[in-house]
Chains A and B, each alone.
Chain A
C-alpha cells in the first residue's frame, strides 16, 4: 500500500512547555477527506500549522509521502502541502490573477519571472473552482464566496497533493457553504488528500470520509462520521447536550439550546 501523502505521527506541539496538541496521530490518503472538529481552542489551528510545516512538532513527526519532513525547507514542504487560510488580506490592491499566481512561489527560484505556463496554471486553477471569469477583478471587490474560491484556486495552483483548509465556510451563507464543500469533494475525488477544519458538523459528516474530534489538545474520537458524531462524544468535546438524527443517510446534529425567549414581556 502506498504511503499516505500526509501523516502526523504521535505529534505533540504548541507554543509553551505543555503544548497545545498532545499525541495526535492522523494519516490522510490520496483521495480522502478528513474533517477536524472540536470546540474553540481545542488545538485545531495548531494541528493545521503542524501539518503545513509552519510549526515544527515538539514531539512526534510530520510525514510527507512517508518521509520525515523535519529537515525539509519551508519551500519544499509548500510544494507538497497547500493551505487555504482563513483570510488573505493584501495591503495593496491585488488582482485575482496575481493572487492565484502567488501559488507558484514555492516552485520558483529565488528571483524569476512568471512564464505563460504559470499564467496557464493559474487560469486552470481558477477554472477548476469555477472562477475563471474573476481573473482580472480586484481581490478586494469580491464577495466572501468568490474570495474563498480564489484562495482555493491559489492553493490548487500551488500544485501539491495535500490541501489543508482552515474553516473554509466561515463567514459564508448556507448556499456558499455547500458550494465550498462540493468543490472540496470534487478535488478529493480528483485524488487530493484533504484536511478540513470546520465548525459545520452536518456538512463535515456528509462530505468527509473520516472525522477527527479533538478537545483540549487531545483526540476524543477518530473514525467514520457516524461513529464520531455521537451524543456522548459531543458532550465530552463541546460540553453540551445534542441529539443526533439520521435522515436519508445524512447525519444531523441538533443541539439542545437553553431557553432564549424573553421571559418578562
Chain B
C-alpha cells in the first residue's frame, strides 16, 4: 500500500478543525444576539456581574432563554434538513417544505384543544403530540411519493406541499373552533417564533436536540452511502431499511421538539445545510454536525434581526427565515434545472425501477 499523497477528505484533523470553527461561530452568534433587542442592554456588564436590575431581568430571564431556544431549534432543524436530504436523495428536502413541521404543528394544536395541554406545564404532552403529527405527515408524504416500491424524488416536494396545505387547513379549522384563549395560544403554531422559549423549553430542547444530532451523526456514514443511491448503499453493506426507519424517527423527533416549542420555522433546514455545503462539501459525516453548529448560529441572529428590525415591535423569526429561505429555494431550483434536463424540481437521476 502506497503512502497517500494528500490527507483523506474525511480525516480526524479536518473534522476537528471544521467543528472547532463551527463552535466558535455559534458562540459568537449567541453572544451577539444576546446584545441585540428592542431594549438596549449592556450585556457585557450584566454577564460580568454588573448592570441594573431591569437589565439583568431582560437579559437573563427573557433574552437568554430565547437565544438558547433559538440556538437549539436552529441546530435541530439544520441537522434534520441534512438527514432528510440524504435519506430522500433530494437537495430540497427540509422539515418545513416536506410538510413535517405542519404535521407537528397540527399535532401540538390538537393536544391543546382536545387535551387542554396549552399551559406551560404540558410541554411534554405537546412534544409527543407534535411527534405523532410529524410522523403522520412523513408517512403521508412518503406514501404519496412512492410508486411501485420506488421513492420518486420529483414527486416528493409536491407531496410535501399538498400535505402541508392539508395540515394548514386543519390548523385553521381547529383555530376557528377554539375558544379565544386557545386561539391565541394556537397562533404560535401558525407562525413560528421563539418568544415562548423559557427555561423549561430550553431544558427539553437541550435534551432532545443534542441526543438526536448525536444519533444522526452516528448513522451519517450510512447516509453518506445512501447519497450515492439505494442499491449502491445495499451493495456496500448498509442496512438501508433499518437506517431509513431510524433516521426518519429521530429526525422527526428533533423536528417535533422544535415545533412543540417554537412552531413551524421554515427554511432553516434548507438554507443552513446548503450554505455550509459550500465550505465543507456534501458528505453528511461532516455536513451534519457542521450544519447543526451553523444552525445554532443562524437562528439566534435571524431572531435578533426579527426583534430589532421593527423595534419596538417584534416579528416572529419565521418571517425572517422565510424571507431569506424562499429566494434561496428559488435559486436552488433554477441552478438545478440549468444543470441538465431530467433534473426537474428536486429530481435526481434515480428513476430506474
Residues of B within 8 Å of A86, CB to CB, are 352
Question: B99 to chain A: closest CB distance in Å?
Answer: 20
Residues of B within 8 Å of A114, CB to CB, are 8-11
Query: Are A102 and B4 in contact, with the CB atoms below 8 A?
Result: no
Q: Does B155 contact A (CB under 8 A)?
A: no
Query: Are B8 and A118 in contact, with the CB atoms below 8 A?
Result: yes
Interface size class of B (residues with CB under 8 A): 35 or more
Closest Cβ neighbor of A166 among chain B residues: B231
Q: How far is the CA of A79 from the CA of B348 in the complex (A)?
A: 29
Question: B223 to chain A: closest CB distance in Å?
Answer: 11
Residues of A within 8 Å of B122, CB to CB, are none
Query: Are B91 and A91 in contact, with the CB atoms below 8 A?
Result: yes
Given contacts A90-B228, A94-B282, A97-B9, whether A76 and B235 have CB atoms under 8 Å apart is no
Question: A131 to chain B: closest CB distance in Å?
Answer: 15
Q: Mark B265-287, 1 if CB is under 8 A from A, else 0.
A: 00000000000010001110100
Taking Cβ atoms with an 8 Å cutoff, the residues of B that contact A are 1-12, 15, 85-86, 89-91, 217-221, 224-225, 227-229, 231-232, 234-239, 277, 281-283, 285, 348-350, 352
Please count how many residues in chain A sit with their CB below 8 Å of the partner chain's CB atoms: 46
Residues of B within 8 Å of A75, CB to CB, are 237, 239
Given contacts A74-B234, A91-B90, A111-B285, whether A85 and B2 have CB atoms under 8 Å apart is no
Residues of A within 8 Å of B11, CB to CB, are 113-115
Query: Are A88 and B7 in contact, with the CB atoms below 8 A?
Result: no
B interface secondary structure, majority: loop
Q: Does A117 contact B (CB under 8 A)?
A: yes
Query: Are A54 and B225 in contact, with the CB atoms below 8 A?
Result: no
Q: Does A195 contact B (CB under 8 A)?
A: no
From B219, B225, B229, B236, residue with most partner A Cβ within 10 Å? B236
Q: Does A105 contact B (CB under 8 A)?
A: yes
Given contacts A92-B91, A110-B221, whether A101 and B8 have CB atoms under 8 Å apart is yes
Residues of B within 8 Å of A82, CB to CB, are 235
Query: Are A94 and B228 in contact, with the CB atoms below 8 A?
Result: yes
Selected from B1, B4, B86, B235, the residue in CB contact (under 8 A) with A52 is B235
Question: A26 to chain B: closest CB distance in Å?
Answer: 19
Selected from A88, A103, A119, the residue in CB contact (under 8 A) with B4 is A119
